[in-house]
Structure 1
C-alpha cells in the first residue's frame, strides 16, 4: 500500500510539473516581441522646378507672358508689351533682334556682349563711321556716315540694298574684292575664297518661333561674328523674322566647310532638321 501511495504521489507531482511547463511554454509563445520604434524616414520634397528665366525676364522688362501653341501643338511663350510689340520670350531673353516695346529709361547703354556687329565692321572697312540713332519707338539702329556727307543704314549698306558708300573703298591685296556673301541660293555649292580674307553667310531666321540657326565650321575657318537683324515691319506687327549673318575668316588653304542647322535649342536632335552647308575652297591670293 505504501508503495502504491508513493507511486501516486510521484505521478501527481509529474502531472503538476508537466502542467506548469505547458503554461510556461504557452506564455512564451503568446508573448509579443517588442517592436523597436520605427525610425522616421526624412523625405526630401523635390523642388517644384526653377522658374523659366525667359519668362522672368519678360516680366522684368515690363512685358506680359502669353502661352501660345504652334501648328504641331507645341507650346511657346510670347512676351507682349503695352505698345503692342510682341517677342518670342527666348529671343527676347537672348537679345536676338527682339527688343522690349516699352520706352527705355535714360541709362548708359551697356556695351554689346559677344561678337562684333558685321554691318558696323563693314561700315568701318568702307571708310564710314557708325552712328547709333534712336527711332520714335525707342528702337536703336546704326547709320554709316561718310566724309562726303552720304549716310546709309548700316545693314542696307552691308547687304548692298541700294545704298552705296560715299567714298572710294581702299582695297588691299588681301581684300582685293568686296566681301563674298553666300545665301540660301548657294546651298551645296563650292565658292573660291582667298586665304586671309573674309566672307559672309546670310540665312533667313525667325526667332519668334523659337527656331534659330546653329553654325559650325571646319578647322580652317573661323567665325568672326554672328548677328541677327529683324526685317522692317509695320508698328505692332508680331512674328516678324529677319536675317542671321555670320562673317567668317578663311584661314587655311584647301577645302573647308560652313554648316548650320535650324532648330529649337531645347528640342533633341532628330536628324530631320532643316540644314544648310556650303563648301569653301580657300586659295592663295
Structure 2
C-alpha cells in the first residue's frame, strides 16, 4: 500500500506509483490519509502523525482482506511526508514485511525544528506559543483557521502566516524548492482539486501534534525486516533519508538517484527507480 506526499491525494504521486507497480504484477492500494481527499473524517484538512500512521495499518487490514492476497507478503511505500508514517507504522505493525520510502520527509522533525533543524530554541517556543493561542481563537470561533504547517519567520524574526501552502502565482524571487513544488502542484502537470497542496492549506494548529509526536522513534523495531530509502542527489530533503539510514539497525539500503531533486521523484519516470522498487519488494516479500 502506498500514500503520500503530505498534502497530496492518491490521484497524484501515490497513484502513479501504485499503477506502475500494479503493471509489474503487484496488488497495490493507493490511499488518502484521514481527513484528506476522499477519505473520511472531520475536521477536514487536519494532519495527525498518530492517525496517519494508523492509516497504514488500516490499509494493511483492507488489502489483506482481498481474495488472492497473501497476508504474509505485504509491503508499504511512503512518499515524501508520509514516509515517516510508513516507517512508524512498520515499527509497530509486523504485518508490514518491507517498507520503502521515496523523497522522504519526517514531518515531525520538519514542523518542530524547520528545514535542516534551523529553528533556534527561542523560535521553537515562539511557534508553540503561536499554535497555543491559535487554539483559543479556533475554540472561540467554533471552526479551525487555516495556516502554514511549516511556520516560517521573516527577516525581523516574526512568524509569517498564510492560508495557502503554495501561492496563486509564483513570485519572481522564488527559490528552487518553492519553484519545484509550484511547478508540480499548481500547474497542469500535477494539479488536483482535492489536493491541499494544490488548492489550500492545513489547519493552522496542525503542527501542534507533530511537536508532541516524534515519528520513527522506534525504527530499530523494524529489523530484521528490510528498508529501502530512495532520495535524489539534489533533493533538499536528502538529509532525512541519510539520517534514517544511519538509525536503522536491520537490512537497509540508501538509493541516491543521480541528477534528481525532491520533486523529480514524484512523477519523473526517468528518475524514479521503479526497477529497484520492483526487485526490492519481490525479493523482500518472497
TM-score by length of 2: 0.25
- Work out which of the two has the higher radius of gyration on C-alpha atoms and give 1 or 2: 1
Higher RCO structure (Cα 8 Å, ≥6 apart): 2
Higher strand residue share: 1
* TM-score normalised according to structure 1 size: 0.25
